[in-house]
Structure formats: C-alpha cells, structure tokens
C-alpha cells in the first residue's frame, strides 16, 4: 500500500453526500478510471455523478446497452490496465453473474456495487432489502470465492469503495460493495481525507499471469499493450493462459488456488466491530443499515442495564467464522435481525451451538430500533 494525496479534484473536508454519490467519489479517490453501467433504481445516482466527475479526472465513462455488457466491458478495460467499476441493483446483479464467474476464474480485479432493493423479480424497485448476500457468494456457477463488504453509513460508502478497490487489486478478485437502498439514498455528513491508501496492481514482466509458486497464491497481473502477448481465457488454463479443458490436475489446482487465495487470507480481509461484548448475554449480530438500528437499540438497552451486545459485520464474505464461533461460546443467545429471510443467520448456525434467533423482515422497510428493542427484551 502506498499513501497518496487524493488524485481527484475534490478538496479535503466535510461534504453532505448521499451514499450513492459517496460511492462515485470513493471510486475516483481509489483510482477508478473506467466505469460502465446501465440505469437501475435505486443505484443510478452513482452513474450520473461519475458521468460528470470523470470529466475532471480523465476517466472513461460509458453507458452500455445492458448489465451484461457493463460487466464485460469493465473486465475488458481492466485487462487494458484500468481500475474499473460498475454499479447496479438486484435485476442487474443477476444479469452480471456469468461475467462475475469469468472475472473470478480469470482473476480480474474489479468492483461491483449492488444497491440492494426488495426482490425477487422486479420486486419493489424503490424499497430497501438485503436479499442479495447469497447471490454475492454463489451467484455464478462453479466454485469460487469473492469478497463482499457491507457499509452502514455514507462515510463507509466512500471508505469501503476505496477498500473494495484495494482488496480487488491485492487479491485479484471481484469485490462487491453490498449497499442497501436506505444507505444509497441516505444523505449525511462525511469526510474526504487529504490522503488515501492505494494498493497498486502487482507487475512482474515475463512472469506467468495465472499461476505462482508464492504461498499467497496471487500471480502478478500484466495488461494488454505491454508486449506480454497475453492469453486470457475463461476456460480452464495453465499458468500462462493456455487452455487445458480436459486436464484434471490443471483444473483442480486452478480452482483450489482461486479459492484458497481468499480463504487463506480471511483473517486480514474480515472486519467486524464489537460493542459491549465482554459481559453480554444476548448478542445481536447485524450488518448494513440494520446494524445502525441495532446499535441504537443496544445503546438504549445498556442504559437500562440489560446485558446486551452487538457484533457488526463489515465484511459478509468471506464470513467472520472465527469471531462468530467465539461469541457463540460466551453468549446465551444470538439475535440476528435481517432484511431477508435469514441469509446470514443460516451462515452463523454453521459455527455456533447456542440458540440463534432470527428476525426477518421483508416488507421493503428498514428494521426500526424500537422493533429490535422489543424483540431483544422478549428474549431477556
């Protein structure tokens, strides 16, 4: 990582942005200079802002004919040397899945922001949900790993967009910022700092771009036009990109490596935030907007003397199995409020033996703090 002065025309200081605008600014600060997208509520404000702001920083913006074209052109631009991004919501995220699998297998770093809305289907386009988390993990066919982040504020829409680019570059993997409508459209004060930490793409001329002897399992990544005569393919390939579509060993090694390069580093990728965990009997596990409501509720309950804590997940994938296992051993019960039918609760239950109580709300509204207080009180 190198620390740099922000290379965008936005001066440091405080701004009153919406979450979707903050994503555009975070991307620019992180060095994103290619954006392709297709309009979809509740995410379009990012694309609109990028279309204007890229003029200041010499970025390439293109509104494509659909989300399939968007993700594919992003991958093309990344191999031409760009840091690149696309932003969408549920239906568009569904269309991108084949391209996401291609990016995973070709180890193409890129960022996809999904401003989640109430699904399935067209659902409620303007209403909030967090129903795409399993899609972020399993949406494309085959076995692969990705990284998915869950912001809870406008500040984090900005900061985690920068993190997403750095993680993508570091691990050569697609990274998802799993926003939610309520944060995309929330407007609040956020700070643009004068410097930003940037991870630059690792280069090593002549080295194989799809394999490495290094323990970290992450090969360096050249670009088109550098004279490397690259061979990029979404079919199974050896370390130089030569197709090996019926060699069992090459396939097994490739799939194992692209999974392990994320799983082996999960301790440094996973970020969580603990609140009042030390003596908590009931621990709320929450993420995204629901973690905001949960913190408000837990603060109140603590003032009433109740032994309640909160574990906030900033990373959804890879899953925070270690700390979840730990809190499962000390707490009496875990309480998991979600704007879906229990996608993260199911994951938690793989790692704990204690009771894990769900609260699932899929009505297009946020989960309000008073509802969390009511539910947690009933468990005490």
Partner 1 sequence: MGRDLEKYLRPEVKSTPFCPGCGHGILMNLILRAIDALELHMDEMLFVSGIGCAAWIPSPNFNADTLHTLHGRAVAFATGAKMFNPKLKTMVISGDGDLASIGGNHLIHAARRNIDLTVICANNMIYGMTGGQVASTSPVGAITSTTTEGNIYRPFDLCKLVLGAGAPYVARYSVTQPVSLIEAIKKSLTTEGFTFVEVLSTCPTQFGRRNRYDSPADMLTMLKESCISKQEAEQLTPEELQGKVITGEFSDGGA
Name the residues that contact partner 1, by CB under 8 A: 33-34, 36, 60, 62, 64-66, 68-69, 72-82, 84, 98-99, 102, 223-225, 227-235, 240-243
Residue 1's nearest CA partner among 202, 269, 174 is 202
Residue 177's nearest CA partner among 132, 218, 212 is 132
Residue 131's nearest CA partner among 364, 343, 312 is 343
What whole-number distance in Å separates Cα of residue 53 and Cα of residue 35? 11
> Cα 125 from chain centroid?
21
Give min distance, CB of 226 to partner 1, in A.
Answer: 9
What whole-number distance in Å separates Cα of residue 360 and Cα of residue 342? 6
Which tokens hold the place of 331?
A: 């707490």
Nearer to partner 1, 100 or 280 (CB): 100
Nearer to partner 1, 207 or 330 (CB): 207
Nearer to partner 1, 140 or 293 (CB): 140
Residue 329's nearest CA partner among 311, 306, 355 is 355
Nearer to partner 1, 34 or 93 (CB): 34
Give min distance, CB of 32 to partner 1, in A.
Answer: 11
Give min distance, CB of 157 to partner 1, in A.
Answer: 24
What whole-number distance in Å separates Cα of residue 242 and Cα of residue 372? 54
Nearer to partner 1, 103 or 316 (CB): 103
What whole-number distance in Å separates Cα of residue 179 and Cα of residue 45? 13
Residues 165, 302 contacting (CB under 8 angstroms): no
Give min distance, CB of 84 to partner 1, in A.
Answer: 7
DSSP string, 41-80: TTTHHHHHHHHHHHHHHT-EEEE-SSHHHHHHHHHHHHHT
Give min distance, CB of 326 to partner 1, in A.
Answer: 42
Nearer to partner 1, 217 or 222 (CB): 222
Nearer to partner 1, 22 or 96 (CB): 96
Give min distance, CB of 73 to partner 1, in A.
Answer: 3
Nearer to partner 1, 99 or 328 (CB): 99
Residue 5 burial (10 A CB sphere; 0-12, 13-18, 19+): exposed
Q: What DSSP state is assigned to residue 243? A: B
Which tokens hold the place of 207?
A: 């080295």
Give min distance, CB of 218 to partner 1, in A.
Answer: 21
């Amino acid at each position: 990582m190198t620390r740099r002065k922000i290379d965008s025309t936005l001066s440091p200081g405080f701004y009153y942005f919406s979450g979707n605008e903050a994503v555009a600014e975070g991307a620019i600060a992180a060095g994103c200079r290619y954006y392709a997208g297709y309009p979809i509520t509740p995410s379009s404000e990012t694309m609109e802002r990028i279309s204007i702001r890229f003029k200041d920083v010499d970025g390439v913006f293109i509104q494509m004919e659909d989300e399939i074209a968007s993700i594919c052109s992003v991958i093309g631009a990344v191999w031409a040397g760009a840091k690149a991004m696309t932003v969408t919501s549920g239906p568009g995220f569904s269309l991108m899945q084949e391209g996401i699998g291609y990016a995973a297998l070709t180890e193409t770093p890129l960022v996809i922001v999904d401003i989640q809305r109430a699904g399935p289907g067209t659902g409620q386009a303007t209403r909030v949900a967090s129903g795409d988390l399993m899609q972020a993990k399993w949406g494309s066919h085959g076995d692969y790993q990705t990284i998915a982040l869950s912001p809870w504020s406008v500040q984090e829409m900005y900061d985690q967009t920068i993190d997403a680019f750095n993680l993508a570059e570091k691990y050569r993997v697609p990274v998802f910022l799993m926003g939610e409508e309520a944060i995309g459209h929330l407007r609040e004060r956020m700070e643009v700092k004068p410097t930003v930490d940037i991870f630059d793409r690792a280069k090593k001329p002549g080295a194989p771009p799809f394999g490495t002897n290094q323990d970290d399992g992450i090969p360096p990544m050249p670009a088109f036009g550098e004279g490397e005569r690259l061979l990029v393919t979404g079919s199974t390939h050896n370390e130089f990109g030569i197709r090996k579509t019926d060699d069992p060993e090459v396939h097994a090694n490739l799939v194992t490596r692209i999974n392990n390069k994320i799983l082996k580093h999960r301790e440094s990728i996973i970020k969580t935030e603990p609140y009042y965990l030390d003596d908590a009997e009931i621990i709320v596990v929450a993420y995204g907007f629901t973690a905001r409501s949960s913190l408000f509720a837990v603060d109140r309950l603590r003032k009433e003397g109740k032994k309640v804590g909160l574990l906030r997940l900033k990373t959804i994938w890879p899953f925070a199995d270690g700390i979840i296992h730990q809190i499962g051993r000390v707490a009496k019960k875990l309480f998991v409020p979600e704007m879906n039918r229990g996608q993260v609760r199911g994951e938690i239950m793989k790692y704990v033996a204690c009771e894990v109580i769900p609260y699932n709300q899929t009505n297009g509204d946020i989960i309000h703090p008073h509802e969390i207080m009511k539910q947690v009180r009933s468990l005490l």
